Amino acid sequence: MEKFETERIYLKLLEEYEITEEYLSWHSQEHTGYYSSSGKKFSKDFLLTEMREGKNNETLFVYGIYFKDNSKLIGNIKIGPIDKRHQISDLIVFIGDKTYLGKGLAVEAIKICNKVAFEQHNVRKLYGGMFKSNVGSVKAYTKAEWVIEGVLKAQYLVDGNPEDRILVACFNPNLYDLQKLSNNFLKFDDIYSK
């Protein structure tokens, strides 16, 4: 099976047998709330069905993130759903094993997965969004060559209080002049210095 490597991690398509109790436990931890605004319950059946259907119709690919030193599965990164008509896709990174959080591994995973999405899956633009309070996630994406496209004001309710959604995107460098595009986007400090 094809691997995509960085200095400290590698990605490969996640296998069904790897959806273990430990993997499922990641999806029930408190920090999962930052990765899913939908409130979905991530049961084994849900995750397997999503993987199978996505793979079958080639619109969703779940890659495991493995720490190279010990080949331990520490999280996942998902390309999809891919809108083939418009050649766009969501891309979500999730470091599930909390002992690997805060080490810059998500940045490495996003950078390599950008390339996978553009070169393997014919995507021209990747997009995503997260809670404004999830500063670590916003930083990870912007360090991985993503831009802040905008802010959806008061998009979420967190403990009854409105919270903004930060919209991020990455454009296929083979199709876009990134230098020209960069003038049209918000800077991290534009949002977080207020």
CB–CB of 131/165 below 8 Å? yes
Global confidence as pTM = 0.91
- Adjacent-strand bridge partners of 124: none
Which CATH number characterizes residue 125's domain? 3.40.630.30
Per the structure, the complete domain to which residue 39 belongs is given by 4-192
Per-residue pLDDT of 58-114, as tens digits, reads: 999 999 999 999 999 999 999 999 999 999 999 999 999 999 999 999 999 999 999
- Adjacent-strand bridge partners of 5: 10
Per-residue pLDDT of 140-190, as tens digits, reads: 999 999 999 999 999 999 999 999 999 999 999 999 988 888 788 998 998
- Tally of domains within the chain: 1
The SS3 call for residue 8 is: coil
Burial status of residue 49 (CB atoms within 10 A of its CB: 0-12, 13-18, 19 or more) = exposed
- Residue 11's contacts (CB-CB under 8 Å, 6 or more residues apart) are 3, 4, 5, 63, 64, 65, 66, 77, 109, 112, 113, 116
